[in-house]
Amino acid sequence: MKSEHDKIKRLRKKVKKLKRKLAEAVKPASGPAVSPLAPKDGFPKLPTIAGVRFCAASAGVKYANRKDVMLAEASAGSTVAGVFTRSSTRAAPVLDCQAKLARLKGPATGKVGIVVNSGNANAFTGKAGLKSVAAVTAAAADVLGTSPDLVFSASTGVIGQPLPHDRIITRLQTMVQDLSADKVDEAARAIMTTDTFPKGASATCEIGGKKVKIAGFAKGSGMIAPDMATMLVYIFTDAAIDQPVLQEVLSDLTGPTFNAITVDGDTSTSDALLLVATGKAGNPPITSVDAAGPFRDALHKVMLELAHLVIRDGEGATKFIEVAVTGAESDAAAHTVGLAIANSPLVKTAFAGEDPNWGRIVMAVGKSGEFADRDSLTIHFGDILVAEKGWVSPDYHEELGANYMKNADLKVSVDLGVGEGSATVWTCDLTHQYITINADYRS
Amino acid sequence: MKSEHDKIKRLRKKVKKLKRKLAEAVKPASGPAVSPLAPKDGFPKLPTIAGVRFCAASAGVKYANRKDVMLAEASAGSTVAGVFTRSSTRAAPVLDCQAKLARLKGPATGKVGIVVNSGNANAFTGKAGLKSVAAVTAAAADVLGTSPDLVFSASTGVIGQPLPHDRIITRLQTMVQDLSADKVDEAARAIMTTDTFPKGASATCEIGGKKVKIAGFAKGSGMIAPDMATMLVYIFTDAAIDQPVLQEVLSDLTGPTFNAITVDGDTSTSDALLLVATGKAGNPPITSVDAAGPFRDALHKVMLELAHLVIRDGEGATKFIEVAVTGAESDAAAHTVGLAIANSPLVKTAFAGEDPNWGRIVMAVGKSGEFADRDSLTIHFGDILVAEKGWVSPDYHEELGANYMKNADLKVSVDLGVGEGSATVWTCDLTHQYITINADYRS
């Protein structure tokens, strides 16, 4: 009897264990709740920016019970700069922002408002799309006590479905009571779609003896590719700075930051970056690009950090990859070669498999269309010399590369050896999780 | 006791069942042995081409016990044309073929040989690569009794590893005894890498009262993108045709066939297409492109069929997708828009998920860089009108699109409504299986 009981006990244990293993094996590849590349410390403590307040609320744009609208307010007298997607099918809010910014070359004569919803992109929604934008920005202007010309909007989510703008307008009435200087994290969360973590960054600098602060946040995870200000990004500063200077510095810095990242080579219809300067720091106003040095450096830091965070939250990403190209015929050629590598599905799947497959890097260089000479090419993985003079380095061993590939943060350096041009771009790997997310998610 | 025994029996059964289920669940996603899009009838019965013989053998280039070398022989007096990858990192055999073809403008003064191995691409192998090509083509010339200048070679497989050419040379000695007019299927199999089925096509036409035959085969599954003669393709005909005419017709037809397909937007270092005409059909020689009409049409059919077969064997493919773009500013613009759609990971994953996600088509049109006007755009899935005038069609219902997506062969039509340009490209979906293949396979 004893042995029978033992047998039954053992078998039951076995059944339990197998059931657990089976459940594990067949569960949908839902992936980690948060990207493995997310900052370990979570959303950073951002400084408050004098003159700027935020709030977020649930309007039920697509899903109930999640905060999906954010409202930001900046004080009257702020200057505003922006960069936007160059897609020819850009969404209604983008068109509206561009039109308003073109008319706003000086300090704003009233409060500046920014209202953003997730869950619906209000893109490819015909004339109804512009009507929704007009209704939302008018309502926001109304609650803020400002002009609709000073209210910018953005929408992110599904393309091609009418925006239920009434739900947003209803919430705006009560949201305005909640505006607060320290709710930036709520705002950053409210604009997320397939993002797995909110993204924030800040920096400070000194101008004319005054401390100037810059703080911003971004959303973006898929449909991320250069040639625009990628995804939605909002940056605030208390610097006093003329609008044309603000715009020029912003435009210049977009190239080596947001335009140098790619998740999947797909360009969103809704990408927008707004930069608002309240002027409350009390610094002597920056009136020329030449005088913008320290501000420019601090802004560069914030923009690069936010751009990198978007890659760290790339859909399905398990590797953060820097691709540094040197020795090209020009900087533009280096950028093209960098993107050819960073957008190659074969390169990206090799990284996903931790396969030091430098042959695919060679392939990507070759297809870029830029001048390259096989026998002048040098490739490094981190500090490891992999290939030079048209062939694998005699000191390279497969184990060296394979060990290096186990890192979460990787660097590929390619020297074309034909000129002085250089550029760096950032990307992530292409994994099963990207397929899982995008074969189901309706964007 | 009885009940204890029953319990044990039941539990053992349960354990067995769970073990089976678990094994099923955790087995690597190896995918179907043969693409679900493969022709149901297998490799077609190709006509023999007078003057052309084939054989295949196992040389152990990478794996033992699989045929990995093919030798083709065409009779003296044949004319040869070719198109090749434009990659700047093209492989040694490609460089060698291009040099030899440039010197071969008339009928070959001896037999023409083609020797191809799979398992190793002999690409990015420095000076050793060209030495391997010289050794292999010299050995093939020797066994065929012809000049090395008339022997073309190709290699496909891993990039960056030295080609063990001695193994191929040893096999060539005995292979030559096996040459036969009806071994084309063996030849088509020997050049496969990640291909799941061999690809062949044929056509006939009449020229001057004589029947002319064309038969060819191709390999290709991943690293497939336009701007070249995609992958390895060998086509033979008994037509009598001048070499410059043969080359011009071939080059013209490459655009709407092999250059209009894409699996992953990645361009191989080794792509090559050779077309050999033995002149044995007895037709009055074709001496001008104007006179090539029926031959051109028949060749177009063979090339398009082979190009489509490459897509049907696209790595991980479960959908064969035609993208027809009309109403563009030019044919070139239409081609660019077509490829923007066909290469978009978000469009391709939507197809994989059978999601009629036309918003992603709009996104891809927008990112293409070509002129488009949101409000002039019309999109069809098959015969279903999906979107027009900047918004979803009032007659469109999600179920219509979702039902259509269940087909294995799909057609997306996009009319830009801004001009007369048109182009059609073909692609496949992007699935988990693509990731599985490419995160492991070393190419």
The CATH code of the domain that includes A282 is: 3.60.70.12
Instruction: For residue A235, tell me if it sits in a domain.
Output: yes
Q: Which of A258, A283, A312 represents a domain boundary (last residue)?
A: A312
Residues B130 and B268 in one domain: yes
CA distance B373 to chain A (A): 7
What is the mean pLDDT of the segment spanning A189-208? 88
CA-to-CA distance for B329 and B10, rounded, in angstroms? 71
DSSP secondary structure string, A116-178?
A: EEEEE---S-HHHHHHHHHHHHHHHHHHHTS-GGGEEEEEEEESSS---HHHHHHHHHHHGGG
CA-to-CA distance for A436 and B46, rounded, in angstroms? 41
Confidence (pLDDT) at B222: 64
Mean pLDDT of chain A: 87
Judge: B362–A269 Cβ closer than 8 Å, yes or no: yes
CA-to-CA distance for B56 and B190, rounded, in angstroms? 6
Strand, helix or coil for residue A38: coil
Q: Which residue has the higher pLDDT, B234 or B267?
A: B234
Q: Give per-residue pLDDT as tens, B323-341.
A: 999 999 999 999 999 999 9
A14 token code pair: 């076995």
ipTM more than 0.90? no
Contacts of A435 in chain B (CB under 8 A): 349, 352, 430-432, 434-435
Q: Give per-residue pLDDT as tens, B130-143.
A: 999 999 999 999 99
Confidence (pLDDT) at A254: 87
Asked if the model's pLDDT at residue B28 lies above 50, the reply is no
* pLDDT tier for residue B18 given thresholds of 50, 70 and 90: confident
What is the mean pLDDT of the segment spanning A278-297? 93
Contacts of A62 in chain B (CB under 8 A): none
Residues B325 and B308 in one domain: no
Residues A222 and A278 in one domain: yes
* pLDDT tier for residue B230 given thresholds of 50, 70 and 90: very low
Confidence (pLDDT) at A228: 33
Judge: B128–A15 Cβ closer than 8 Å, yes or no: no
Q: The domain that contains A335 carries what CATH number?
A: 3.10.20.340
Residues B360 and B338 in one domain: yes
B232 touches chain A (CB under 8 A): no
Instruction: For residue B394, tell me if it sits in a domain.
Output: yes
Q: Are strands A232-237 and A272-277 parallel, antiparallel or unpaired?
A: parallel
Confidence (pLDDT) at A27: 47
B85 token code pair: 């990858």
% of chain A exceeding 90 in pLDDT: 52
Q: Give per-residue pLDDT as tens, B68-107.
A: 999 999 999 999 988 887 777 788 899 999 999 999 988 9
Residues A302 and A344 in one domain: no
Of A160, A269, A367, the CB nearest to B358: A160
Place of tokens 């990859």: A321
Instruction: For residue B351, tell me if it sits in a domain.
Output: yes
Judge: A392–B160 Cβ closer than 8 Å, yes or no: yes
Residues B326 and B199 in one domain: no
Residues B273 and B199 in one domain: yes
Place of tokens 């090339």: B303
Instruction: Quote the radius of gyration of chain A (alpha carbons, Å).
Output: 24
Q: Beta partners for A113?
A: A73, A151
A119 touches chain B (CB under 8 A): no
* pLDDT tier for residue A158 given thresholds of 50, 70 and 90: confident
Q: Which of A256, A278, A312 represents a domain boundary (last residue)?
A: A312
Beta strands in A27-140 (DSSP E): 52-57, 69-74, 79-84, 112-120
A430 touches chain B (CB under 8 A): yes
Cβ atoms of A356 and A404 within 8 Å: the answer is yes
A49 token code pair: 């920016």
Cβ atoms of A249 and A289 within 8 Å: the answer is yes
| Domain count along chain B | 2
Contacts of B349 in chain A (CB under 8 A): 434-435, 438-439
Confidence (pLDDT) at A268: 65
* pLDDT tier for residue A24 given thresholds of 50, 70 and 90: low
B115 token code pair: 């020797």
Residues A206 and A345 in one domain: no
Please give the residue range of the domain that contains residue B202: 52-312
Place of tokens 């923009």: A303
Q: Which of A291, A312, A333 represents a domain boundary (last residue)?
A: A312
Catalytic option among B85, B230, B262, B278: B230
Give the containing element (helix H, strand E) for A266. none
Contacts of B392 in chain A (CB under 8 A): 124, 160-161
Amino acid making up residue A36: P
Contacts of A160 in chain B (CB under 8 A): 358-359, 362, 387, 391-392
Instruction: For residue A339, tell me if it sits in a domain.
Output: yes
Instruction: For residue A372, tell me if it sits in a domain.
Output: yes
According to the 3-state scheme, what is the secondary structure of chain B?
CHHHHHHHHHHHHHHHHHHHHHHHHHCCCCCCCCCCCCCCCCCCCCCCCCCEEEEEECCCCCCCCCCCEEEEEECCCCEEEEEECCCCCCCHHHHHHHHHHHCCCCCCCCCEEEEEEEEECCCCCHHHHHHHHHHHHHHHHHHHCCCHHHEEEEEEEECCCCCCHHHHHHHHHHHHHHCECCCHHHHHHHCCCCCCCCEEEEEEEEECCEEEEEEEEEECCCCCCCCCCCCEEEEEECCCECHHHHHHHHHHHHCCCHHHEECCCCCCCCCEEEEEECCCCCCCCECCCHHHHHHHHHHHHHHHHHHHHHHHCCCCCCCEEEEEEEEECCHHHHHHHHHHHHCCHHHHHHHHCCCCCHHHHHHHHHHCCCCCCHHHCEEEECCEEEEECCEECCCCCHHHHHHHCCCCEEEEEEECCCCCEEEEEEEECCCHHHHHHHHHCCC
Confidence (pLDDT) at B1: 55
Residues A291 and A324 in one domain: no
Residues B291 and B352 in one domain: no
CA-to-CA distance for A372 and A292, rounded, in angstroms? 37
CA-to-CA distance for B385 and B358, rounded, in angstroms? 11
Amino acid making up residue A52: V
Instruction: For residue B367, tell me if it sits in a domain.
Output: yes
Of A267, A377, A440, the CB nearest to B367: A267
Instruction: For residue B3, tell me if it sits in a domain.
Output: no
Asked if the model's pLDDT at residue B364 lies above 70, the reply is yes
Residues A256 and A385 in one domain: no
Residues B163 and B180 in one domain: yes
% of chain B exceeding 70 in pLDDT: 93
Which residues touch A201 (CB under 8 Å, ≥6 apart)? A44, A46, A215, A216, A217, A301, A302, A305, A306, A309
Instruction: For residue B95, tell me if it sits in a domain.
Output: yes
The candidate with the shortest Cα–Cα distance to A333, out of A396, A230, A414, A409, is A414
CA-to-CA distance for A7 and A1, rounded, in angstroms? 10
Mean pLDDT of chain B: 87
What is the mean pLDDT of the segment spanning B146-150? 97
- Range scoring the smallest mean pLDDT among A108-112, A182-186, B58-62, B433-437: B433-437
Contacts of B22 in chain A (CB under 8 A): 18, 21-22, 25
Judge: A374–B124 Cβ closer than 8 Å, yes or no: yes
Place of tokens 């679900």: B36
CA distance A71 to chain B (A): 27
Residue of A nearest to B86 (CA): A367
**What is the interface size between A and B, counted as CB pairs within 8 Å?**
248
Q: Give catalytic residue positions of A.
A: 230
End-to-end Cα spacing for chain B: 61
CA-to-CA distance for A275 and A183, rounded, in angstroms? 18
